[in-house]
Amino acid sequence: MMRTNRLKARLKAGEQSYCGWSMMGNAMAAEIMALAGVDAIVIDHEHGPADLMSAIRIMQAVSGTDATTIMRVPSHDPVYVKRALDAGIEGIMFPSVNTADQARAAVSACRYPPNGKRGAAYSYVRASDYGLNASDYPAHAEDNVVILAQVESKTALENLDEISQVDGIDGFYMGPLDMSGSIGKLGQFQEDEVAGLLAASEDGVLKSGKALGGSAGGQEAARKMRDRGYTLIGIGADIDHIRDGVSANLENVRRN
């Protein structure tokens, strides 16, 4: 039986939600974050080294918790999206959605005909409990998948009003690093043009009524994002938690 997509319901209700990122593709690290209480695990297949089998192991590890699993796919390739959904992923994050046509194609890749172009093999796949739930799965799959579009460029901002009107997009996830790079100022977050671009993108999403998401660089940043109106906040990746935890412990031991 399909799990209720708790994150989709929370985003629709405007409830504050927090996600941890799986950059290493390690099931135990993802399970720890889920058991610690994050609302979602984002499995990164755009920049992370993981493959589909490691994503399945993460989904299996997280299935005993309340956390929703999302995959940031490498591109808008509908075949990759289809395989991720067949494997049982509960949400897809599309990087660099710059136009409404790209947003419509993204949604189409997540939906079966007649509402989309997702290929059907639900008699066998993990998403339908390997066919044990095949008669019920197609009718509910569309309404049970979170679809997030990343805003990562000046072009995306220029088209944001139109993108936000695409049926099926549940929310937007800011990508400030690539956004800064799109205007030739990579990583210069305090520069006026970069800061203005991010602020305008945030305003556009908030105006649309869609969920606003993004990753925080620490607790203070997370609090500011919450106050700004973000309803999906990334609190760091497995690599962040290991790196920063070890570094802090070493510093304390060496100092004391």
* Active site residues per annotation: 47
Residue 73: which of 87, 62, 63, 57 has the closest Cα?
87
DSSP string, the chain: -PPP-HHHHHHHHT--EEEEEESS--HHHHHHHHHHT-SEEEEESSSS---HHHHHHHHHHHTTSSPEEEEE-SSS-HHHHHHHHHHT-SEEEES---SHHHHHHHHHHTS-TTS------TTTSGGGTTTTTTTTHHHHHGGG-EEEEEE-SHHHHHTHHHHHTSTT--EEEE-HHHHHHTTT-TT-TTSHHHHHHHHHHHHHHHHHTSEEEEE-SSHHHHHHHHHHT-SEEEEEEHHHHHHHHHHHHHHHHHH-
- The amino acid present at 20, given as its one-letter code, is G
Residue 30 is encoded by which pair of tokens?
A: 């993802």
